[in-house]
Chains A and B, each alone.
Chain A
Amino acid sequence: MSSEHAIVIGASHAGAQLVTSLRQAGWTGKISMVGEEAIPPYHRPPLSKGYLNGDKHSDEILIRPAAFYEKSDIDLLLGNRVTGIDRENKTITLHDGATIAYTKLALTTGAHVRKLSALPGHELGGVCYLRDLRDVDNIRCYIGKGKSAVIIGGGYIGLETAASMRKMGMEVTVLEAMPRVLARVTAPEISAFYSRVHGEEGVRIITDAAVEGIEGSNSVEAVKLADGTLIPADVVVIGVGVAPATELAEAAGLEIDNGIVVDEFARTSDPDIVAAGDCTNHFNPIYGRNLRLESVQNATDQAKVAANTLCGKLEAYNALPWFWSDQFDLKLQIAGLSQGFDRVVVRGDTETGRSFAAFYFEGDKLLAVDAINRPKEFMMTRRALSTGQNADPDKLADESVEIQQAFS
């Protein structure tokens, strides 16, 4: 074994992939991964679904079991918070004051939830956020059949949480500040579709909602809107987005611009420090612009690039972003990024039923697809966009044409 030491800060999706890929790429030195939580990296998507409703135990959502890291000679320094990075002496400091020397460093610090700390009543019991396992353990203290939940924020996290709680037999209200749910990420047709399905399933969605405060004595009892409406609640889940966790990088003097700035090889402004996942701002060659993505795909794919870089194998990151979201019986799969679209082509029907694909175009160029219970359309589009293929909008809209035939 060489005397080199790679330290990965953040036991996240990206961290788990990075340490695994480091070994696979031939890193022979020591590898340590520092994480604040007491358990090894776990899958976050089930937090708003199978883990929330109790179907899955925390052991069942681990990306890999602790034994795997041990066998791969990867040290997990769990329950530790890094308080500083000294780039000059190449050390990190832990919360207990211990310092550890590194030869290479990787930042997979993820993102923090945006908190509504100015909202009256935000400190009441039962007012929760949903980002990590501890958050969901907290939420689980307040939920159950017949109880009432108010979800603040009609994004993916909010809607997934609403669906899970509704399926548990709870009364669920979603409050969205914008005129429609998923406004930041989808076309109006898709927002209308999700509103319809949630309504059919018994979730109440209030758009243009102005939340004035959360009321209760010790625990939350109701959420008050600006128009005076009081919505009874045993639990409030706030899902209003995340911000990249850049504090450590910033304090260490690394370049920050809406995330930790990295190049196509996941290198930060310090050549011995890479970063991957939600915390980074990186250039995407497929879309020709800088992106900060909040997704599992980006975490794992960029982590592989970062690991290769640390092993001296420079392979540029040029993956197509893709996402998924499961709510009720809806399997949404998204390939590509729709931002900048000026036209939506629908294959299927958004107004009845629960299966269609919405293709986003900018001019003649296909940007992305939102495929709902349409795995074929998702798979075809993901492959096509990855390889620079375009599609014919008229053929996409025509269900009598096989999906493959719509791509050129």
Chain B
Amino acid sequence: MPLIKFVTHTGEEHEVHVSAGTSVMQAAMDNGVPGILADCGGACSCATCHCYVDDSWAEKTGKPDDVEEQMLDFVMEVKPTSRLSCQIVVEDELDGLVVHLPESQI
């Protein structure tokens, strides 16, 4: 099972193992990682699962689609590596993925 490392804005690290096919958002929810709200449950409708993909992984996780990109334009503290974590599906290639969490979702 791929490993994902979440780093909160205070530097706290949470390492979780998840099955391939799970979203990064659900991985955080399932393991009680703080900082992801995920109000809409993964419908790409709320932008409360914002994260920053670590620079070293940004290429592998790919680019946001049009809807996600428009949502990201208005999240707090957007950065070039910003993603909505519900739109990143964990695959075996993402084993070791590091994502950073923003200070606030809304």
Chain A residues engaging chain B, CB cutoff 8 angstroms = 20, 24, 43, 45-46, 61, 63-65, 67-68, 71-72, 296-297, 300, 322, 324, 326, 331, 333, 373-376, 379-380, 383, 386
- Does A300 contact B74, Cβ atoms closer than 8 Å? no
Pair A324/B46 contact, Cβ less than 8 Å: yes
Residues of A contacting B73 with CB < 8 Å? 376, 379
Q: Are A45 and B40 in contact (CB under 8 A)?
A: yes
**What per-residue 1/0 map shows which CB atoms of B57-68 lie under 8 Å from chain A?**
000000000010
The verdict on A379 contacting B32 (CB below 8 Å), with A45-B43, A300-B39 known, is no
Chain B nearest CB from A279 CB (Å) reads 19
Which residue from A64, A324, A333 sits with its C-beta under 8 Å from B29?
A64
- Quick one: CB contact mask for B62-106 with A, threshold 8 Å, 1 for yes? 000001001101110000000000000000000000000000001
Please state if B41 and A43 are interface contacts (CB–CB under 8 Å): yes
CA–CA, A98 and B30, complex, Å: 31
With A67-B30, A375-B67 given, name 13 new contacts (CB 8 A): A20-B32, A45-B41, A65-B30, A72-B32, A296-B39, A326-B43, A331-B67, A333-B45, A375-B71, A376-B73, A379-B47, A379-B71, A379-B75
Q: Which of B40, B71, B75, B106 contacts A296 (CB 8 A)?
A: B40
B window 33-50: CB within 8 A of A? 34, 37, 39-41, 43-47
Central interface residue in B32, B37, B45, B70, by most chain A CB within 10 Å: B45
Chain B residues positioned under 8 Å from A63 (CB to CB): 29, 41
Structural contact, B45 and A331, CB atoms closer than 8 A:
yes
B34 touching A24 by the CB < 8 A rule? yes
Nearest CB in chain B: distance from A219 CB, A: 33
| Complex: A379 Cα to B48 Cα, angstroms | 11
Residue of B with least CB distance to A23: B32
- Per the bound structure, the CA–CA distance linking A72 and B34 in Å amounts to 13
CB distance from B36 to the nearest CB of A (A): 12
Instruction: Tell me the interface secondary structure of chain B in the complex.
Output: loop
CB of B43 to closest CB in A, whole Å: 6
Would you call B106 and A386 a contact (CB within 8 A)? yes
User: What count of chain B residues pass the 8 Å CB interface test?
Assistant: 21
Which of B30, B47, B67 contacts A68, CB < 8 Å? B30
A71–B29 Cα distance when bound, in Å, is: 13
**Chain B contacts for A324, CB-based, 8 A:** 40, 43, 45-46
Separation in Å of the A61 CB from the closest CB of chain B? Answer: 8
Smallest distance from the beta carbon of B67 to chain A beta carbons, Å?
A: 5
A-B pairs with the 8 shortest C-beta distances? Answer: A379-B74, A375-B70, A324-B45, A43-B41, A376-B70, A375-B71, A65-B30, A375-B67
Task: List, in ascending order, chain B residues with CB within 8 A of A20's CB.
Answer: 32
Contact between B43 and A68, CB atoms less than 8 A apart: no
Chain A contacts of B46 at CB under 8 A? 297, 322, 324
Q: When the two chains form their complex, are residues B31 and A68 in contact, meaning their CB atoms are under 8 A apart?
A: yes
Give the CA-CA distance A296 to B47 in the complex, in Å.
14
CB <8 Å contact, A376 and B74: yes
Q: Which of chain B's residues have a CB closer than 8 A to the CB of A375?
A: 67, 70-71
- A64-B29, A65-B30, A68-B30 as given contacts; A46 in contact with B74, CB under 8 Å: no
Q: In whole angstroms, how far apart are the Cα atoms of A72 and B31 in the complex?
A: 10
- A380 and B74 form a contact (CB under 8 A): yes
In the complex, the answer to whether A46 meets B30 with C-beta atoms within 8 Å is: no
Complexed CA–CA distance, A135 and B44 (Å): 26
**Residues of the B chain whose Cβ atoms lie less than 8 Å from the Cβ of A380:** 74
The chain A residue with its CB closest to the CB of B69 is: A375
Q: How far is the CB of B26 from chain A (nearest CB, A)?
A: 9
> Given the complex of chains A and B, what is the CA–CA distance between A379 and B67 in angstroms?
11
In the assembled complex, the CB of B35 is this many whole angstroms from the nearest CB of chain A, namely: 11
Instruction: Quote the shortest CB–CB distance from A306 to chain B (angstroms).
Output: 16
User: Chain B residues with Cβ under 8 A from A68's Cβ?
Assistant: 29-32
Query: Do residues A383 and B74 form an inter-chain contact, with CB atoms below 8 A?
Result: yes
Q: A71: nearest residue on chain B (CB-CB)?
A: B32
Q: How far is the CA of A322 from the CA of B45 in the complex (A)?
A: 10
Chain A residues, CB < 8 A from B30: 64-65, 67-68
Please measure, in the bound complex, the distance between the C-alpha atom of A43 and the C-alpha atom of B86, giving whole angstroms.
14
Q: Can you list 5 residue pairs at the A/B interface with Cβ under 8 Å?
A: A64-B29, A68-B30, A296-B39, A379-B70, A379-B71
Please give me the residue from chain B that is nearest to A325 by CB atom. Answer: B45
Q: CA separation between A375 and B67, bound complex, in Å?
A: 6
CB distance from A368 to the nearest CB of B (A): 16
Query: Across the interface, which residues of A come within 8 angstroms of B32, CB to CB?
Result: 20, 64, 68, 71-72
Question: Given the complex, which residues of B lie within 8 Å of A24, measured CB to CB?
Answer: 34
The chain B residue sitting closest to A373, CB to CB, is: B67
